[in-house]
């Protein structure tokens, strides 16, 4: 690449050219913008000294300029760039503060990546009729994407290596420009968060439906791999912390979390509709089961099973069940109850789950003794963590709540998983889960599954021990839900 001729990049609105300098100017080539950006990238890497002169104009100019400004490692011999013509970038910058009403520095947080998309998006969608979009920029960002800008940036960093566009196969929007990773992530997250149609989301970003489809799936595939560390069963230390918090809040010693399941409803093509997907409410649905901790973080999920199963069967099909039954999970240190009974690690679930040594379900029946009512009250408070988490999940990532139109049943589990990962990322990065977006109703409204009649003798013994423990320590522990986030 040493013999690369010094090119002139002429970046203007109508066309993008690359020319040899001076007397070679006749050998100019008019290239597509994507091609020139690609060429620029290659030259910049291989022979940065060859890029000496860029004549700016038009809307690509800003991007080139900012990239050059960010890479001042140009050799000393390089002649300074030509003074840029006034481009649209300053105009856009100038437009923003006026629109934002003197908000906080709009470029402070997103300076590392592409910010253009956000201001274009906000300008276009910020005043959408019928929506209560916050006027504050950061709040508006969270409204659209459920995460703060900082978290958004983190998510971009996770998937950047997979989503970075590589011409000529890179994704191109309707203006013929490459989609930045930020814009791709934004499109995908908006699709997941709003659950709106691909056409609507595409219109909001100025891209086509197929781009939304493609970008969203790429994002999901990437997140599946790159964000795995946000969903895992806690190690001993972390689990100890969880148990302490849960005991403090609900008085249940050695409680490790709560389990619940929900239906993700969809439509299926009439041709291949299988009754196996048709659940008790005559919806086609897929199950999602999650175990959550005190912060509503998913510790374990299983999804992909048809909604026509019973919850109890779903549990038994899960890897979590197999691990627990084989003693490889929830096998931490025992605790002694007030009556010196052993209390193993357990989770709590509703009556649709079987009563097992590691899964505590409520007492059923009428005219229960006070001790059992006391147990039920605290157990319910604890298990509602899972219900809240699922409400939050379905409310925050509305694609899961809306009836999905003929999804690929082999891809839907990935969508569900990524929504859970995003949910956990919000918690892990310290963003607050916005309670306003959570569903106001129950996450699985309309579904009333009969109670599981399965009672494991050891489970029964342990539930009784817990009941006695709660009864004796009733005066000491009060359910304090306010301690829970």
Partner 1 sequence: MLCSISTSTPASNSKSDTNWLDRLHSSRGFSVPAHLHLDHFLSPNPCANPNPSTTFPPPLEKEASDSPQEVSTNPRRRKKHLPPPLDDVAPDEKKQLFDLMGGVLAELFVMGGPPVVREFKEKGARKQSNPRVCVPSVSASIDGCRVPLVTSPPSSADNSVAEAKKSRTKLRRKRGTAAGPVDLDLSAYSRTDVTVIDTSCSGWKSEKVIFRKGVMWKVRDKKVWTLSRKKRRLGLVGRLANEKDKEQPHAESKVPAGEELLASLVEGSAPLDKNDAPEKICHQISNSIRQKISRSPRIHSAKDSTFHRNAATNQKNGISGPKASAKGR
Residues in the interface with partner 1 (CB under 8 A) total 39
Task: Report the Cα–Cα distance between both ends of the chain, in Å, rounded.
Answer: 58
For 129, the token pair is 């009729």
Q: Taking CB under 8 A as the rule, does residue 253 contact partner 1?
A: no
Out of 195, 202, 257, 306, name the contact with partner 1 by CB under 8 A: 306
Q: What is the SS3 assignment for 191?
A: helix
Cα–Cα distance measured from residue 151 to residue 423, given in angstroms and rounded to the nearest whole number: 11
Q: Taking CB under 8 A as the rule, does residue 349 contact partner 1?
A: no
Q: How far is the CB of 23 from partner 1 (least distance, A)?
A: 38
Out of 341, 414, 434, 451, name the contact with partner 1 by CB under 8 A: 414
Q: Taking CB under 8 A as the rule, does residue 162 contact partner 1?
A: yes
Q: Is the Cβ–Cβ distance between 75 and 48 less than 8 Å?
A: yes
Q: How many CB atoms lie within 10 A of CB 128?
A: 10
Out of 262, 318, 352, 361, name the contact with partner 1 by CB under 8 A: 318
Nearer to partner 1, 323 or 373 (CB): 323
> Mask: binding to partner 1, 61-100, rule CB under 8 A, as x and -?
----------------------------------------
Long-range contact list for 207-214, CB < 8 A, 24+ apart? 207/173, 207/174, 207/179, 208/173, 208/174, 211/171, 211/173, 211/179, 211/187, 212/187, 214/171
Burial of 437: CB neighbours in 10 Å, binned 0-12, 13-18, 19+: middle
Q: How far is the CB of 42 from partner 1 (least distance, A)?
A: 16
Q: Taking CB under 8 A as the rule, does residue 387 contact partner 1?
A: no
Q: Is the Cβ–Cβ distance between 253 and 335 less than 8 Å?
A: yes
Q: Taking CB under 8 A as the rule, does residue 297 contact partner 1?
A: no
Residues 415-474 that bind partner 1 (CB under 8 A): 416-417
Q: Taking CB under 8 A as the rule, does residue 409 contact partner 1?
A: yes
Q: Which letter, b or e, does each residue of 365-392 get, where b requires 16 or more Cβ atoms within 10 Å of its Cβ?
A: eeeeeebbebbbebbbbbbbbbbbbbbb
Q: Taking CB under 8 A as the rule, does residue 302 contact partner 1?
A: yes
Q: How far is the CB of 416 from partner 1 (least distance, A)?
A: 7
Out of 118, 144, 320, 375, name the contact with partner 1 by CB under 8 A: 320
C-alpha neighbours within 13 Å on the C-beta side of residue 19: 16
Nearer to partner 1, 220 or 484 (CB): 220
Q: How far is the CB of 459 from partner 1 (least distance, A)?
A: 20
Nearer to partner 1, 113 or 307 (CB): 307
Q: Taking CB under 8 A as the rule, does residue 229 contact partner 1?
A: no
Out of 222, 294, 312, 379, name the contact with partner 1 by CB under 8 A: 222
Q: How far is the CB of 365 from partner 1 (least distance, A)?
A: 25
Q: Taking CB under 8 A as the rule, does residue 225 contact partner 1?
A: yes
Cα–Cα distance measured from residue 91 to residue 68, given in angstroms and rounded to the nearest whole number: 20
Q: What is the SS3 assignment for 276?
A: helix
Q: DSSP string spanning 91-146?
A: HHHHHHHHHHTS-S-TTTTTTTS--HHHHHHHHHHTT-TT----SSHHHHHHHHHS
Q: How far is C-alpha 85 from the geometric centre of its chain's CA atoms?
A: 41
Nearer to partner 1, 17 or 162 (CB): 162
Residues in the chain: 485
> Mask: binding to partner 1, 268-287, rule CB under 8 A, as x and -?
------xxxx----------
Cα–Cα distance measured from residue 253 to residue 247, given in angstroms and rounded to the nearest whole number: 5
Nearer to partner 1, 56 or 284 (CB): 284
DSSP character at residue 284 = E
CA distances from 298 to 16, 46, 230 (A): 49, 46, 9
**Type and span of the H or E element at 391:** helix 370-396
Nearer to partner 1, 113 or 306 (CB): 306
Q: Taking CB under 8 A as the rule, does residue 322 contact partner 1?
A: yes
**CA-based Rg of the chain, rounded to a whole angstrom?**
28
Stretch that binds partner 1, among 9-17, 246-254, 296-304, 332-340 (CB under 8 A): 296-304
Q: How far is the CB of 233 from partner 1 (least distance, A)?
A: 7
Q: How far is the CB of 265 from partner 1 (least distance, A)?
A: 16
Q: Taking CB under 8 A as the rule, does residue 407 contact partner 1?
A: no
Out of 226, 380, 402, 468, name the contact with partner 1 by CB under 8 A: 226
| Beta-bridge mates of residue 336 | 342
Q: How far is the CB of 299 from partner 1 (least distance, A)?
A: 8
Q: Is the Cβ–Cβ distance between 298 and 420 less than 8 Å?
A: yes
Out of 111, 232, 238, 480, name the contact with partner 1 by CB under 8 A: 232
For 33, the token pair is 């913008």
Nearer to partner 1, 49 or 157 (CB): 157
Q: How far is the CB of 420 from partner 1 (least distance, A)?
A: 9
Q: Taking CB under 8 A as the rule, does residue 228 contact partner 1?
A: yes
- Contacting positions for partner 1 (CB under 8 A): 161-162, 218, 221-222, 224-226, 228, 231-233, 274-277, 300-306, 309, 313, 317-320, 322-323, 329, 409-411, 413-414, 416-417
């Amino acid at each position: 690449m040493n013999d690369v001729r010094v090119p002139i990049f002429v970046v203007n609105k109508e066309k993008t050219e690359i020319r040899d300098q001076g007397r070679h100017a006749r050998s100019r080539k008019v290239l597509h913008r994507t091609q020139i950006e690609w060429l620029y990238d290659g030259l910049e890497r291989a022979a940065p000294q060859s890029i000496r002169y860029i004549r700016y104009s038009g809307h690509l100019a800003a991007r080139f300029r900012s990239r050059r400004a960010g890479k001042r490692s140009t050799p000393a011999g390089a002649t300074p760039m030509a003074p840029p013509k006034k481009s649209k970038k300053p105009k856009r910058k100038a437009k923003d503060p006026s629109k934002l009403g003197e908000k906080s520095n709009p470029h402070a947080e997103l300076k590392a990546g592409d910010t253009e998309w956000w201001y274009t998006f906000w300008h276009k969608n910020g005043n959408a009729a019928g929506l209560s979009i916050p006027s504050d920029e950061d709040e508006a960002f969270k409204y659209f994407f459920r995460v703060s800008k900082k978290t958004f940036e983190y998510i971009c960093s996770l998937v950047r290596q997979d989503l970075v566009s590589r011409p000529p196969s890179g994704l191109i929007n309707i203006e013929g420009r490459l989609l930045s990773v930020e814009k791709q992530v934004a499109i995908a997250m908006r699709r997941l968060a709003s659950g709106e149609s691909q056409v609507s989301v595409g219109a909001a970003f100025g891209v086509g439906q197929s781009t939304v489809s493609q970008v969203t799936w790429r994002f999901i595939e990437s997140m599946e791999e790159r964000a795995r560390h946000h969903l895992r069963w806690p190690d001993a230390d972390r689990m100890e912390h969880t148990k302490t918090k849960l005991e403090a809040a609900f008085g249940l010693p050695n409680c490790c979390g709560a389990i619940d399941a929900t239906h993700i409803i969809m439509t299926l093509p009439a041709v291949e509709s299988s009754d196996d997907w048709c659940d008790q409410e005559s919806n086609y649905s897929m199950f999602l089961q999650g175990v959550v901790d005190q912060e509503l973080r998913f510790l374990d999920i299983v999804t992909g099973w048809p909604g026509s199963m019973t919850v109890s069967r779903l549990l038994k099909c899960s890897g979590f069940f197999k691990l627990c039954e084989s003693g490889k999970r929830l096998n931490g240190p025992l605790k002694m109850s007030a009556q010196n009974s052993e209390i193993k690690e357990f989770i709590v679930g509703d009556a649709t789950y079987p009563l097992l040594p590691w899964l505590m379900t409520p007492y059923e029946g009428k005219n229960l003794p006070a001790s059992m009512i006391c147990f039920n009250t605290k157990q319910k408070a604890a298990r509602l963590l899972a219900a809240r988490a699922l409400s939050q999940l379905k409310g925050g990532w509305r694609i899961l709540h809306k009836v999905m139109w003929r999804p690929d049943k082999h891809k839907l589990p990935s969508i569900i998983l990524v929504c859970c990962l995003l949910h956990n990322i919000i918690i892990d990065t310290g963003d607050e889960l916005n309670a306003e977006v959570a569903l106001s109703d129950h996450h699985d409204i309309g579904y009333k599954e009969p109670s599981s009649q399965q009672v494991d003798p050891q489970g029964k013994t342990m539930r009784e021990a817990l009941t006695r423990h709660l009864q004796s320590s009733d005066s000491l522990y009060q359910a304090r839900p306010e301690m829970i986030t």
